[in-house]
Amino acid sequence: MLSGNVAVPRAVLLACTFTVVLAGGVMSGASSAESRIEIKIPEADREHCARRMREYLAMSNEILGATLEGDHQAVADKALRVVPRRYRASAGGQAGGSGGRHERMQANMPQGYQAMMHHLHDGFKRIADLAREEAEPVLIQRQLVRTQNTCVACHATYRFTTAEE
């Protein structure tokens, strides 16, 4: 009987703790999502961005894999694949003619977003340069970490929603 009296409150206590932890987790998740700045863009642009993002993730992982293999050529190729052509020439060649999306996105995206995107592309260009110079893999990996800090920072700052068309 005595043990029964002890067991019940303990179970209740455990259940309460679990609920509080769960609720805390959900609430902090929700509030951090809401603190991000909303960027309203048309559905097609949102899909385009998501596709690019998945490519960034895939290339980051493949770059890391290639540095572990010591394959400099693959590192350079993969890094350049995610740098838009108009940024590749260091001499700032304004190629233009990307079908209007680029111009529209430039007009829609906040300055901070665009600055982080530039920073990201610079980071991947730097990775390609290091690979071409046959730098130590660990130096390329360090640059990859720096570059991925930009992914993390932007994701903590912005979120997309779909604009009415």
- How many Cα atoms within 13 Å fall on the side-chain side of residue 142? 6
Q: Residue 18 belongs to what H/E stretch?
A: helix 2-34
> CB 118: neighbour CB atoms within 10 A?
12
Among 75, 76, 80, 120, binds ligand HEC (CB under 6 A): 120
Q: Decide: 155 and 113 in contact? Cβ < 8 Å.
A: no
Identify the three-state secondary structure at position 149: helix
Q: How far is the CB of 82 from ligand HEC (least distance, A)?
A: 7
Contacts of 75 (CB under 8 A, 6+ apart): 63, 66, 67, 127, 128, 130, 131, 140
Q: Which stretch binds ligand HEC (CB under 6 A): 2-10, 53-61, 86-94, 125-133?
A: 53-61
Among 41, 80, 105, 116, binds ligand HEC (CB under 6 A): 116
Pick 33 or 91: Cβ nearer ligand HEC: 33
Among 66, 128, 137, 150, binds ligand HEC (CB under 6 A): 150
Q: Verify binding: residue 108, ligand HEC, rule CB under 6 A.
A: no
Q: Which residues bind ligand HEC (CB under 6 A)?
A: 50, 53-54, 56-57, 60, 113, 116-117, 120, 148, 150-151, 154-155, 158-160
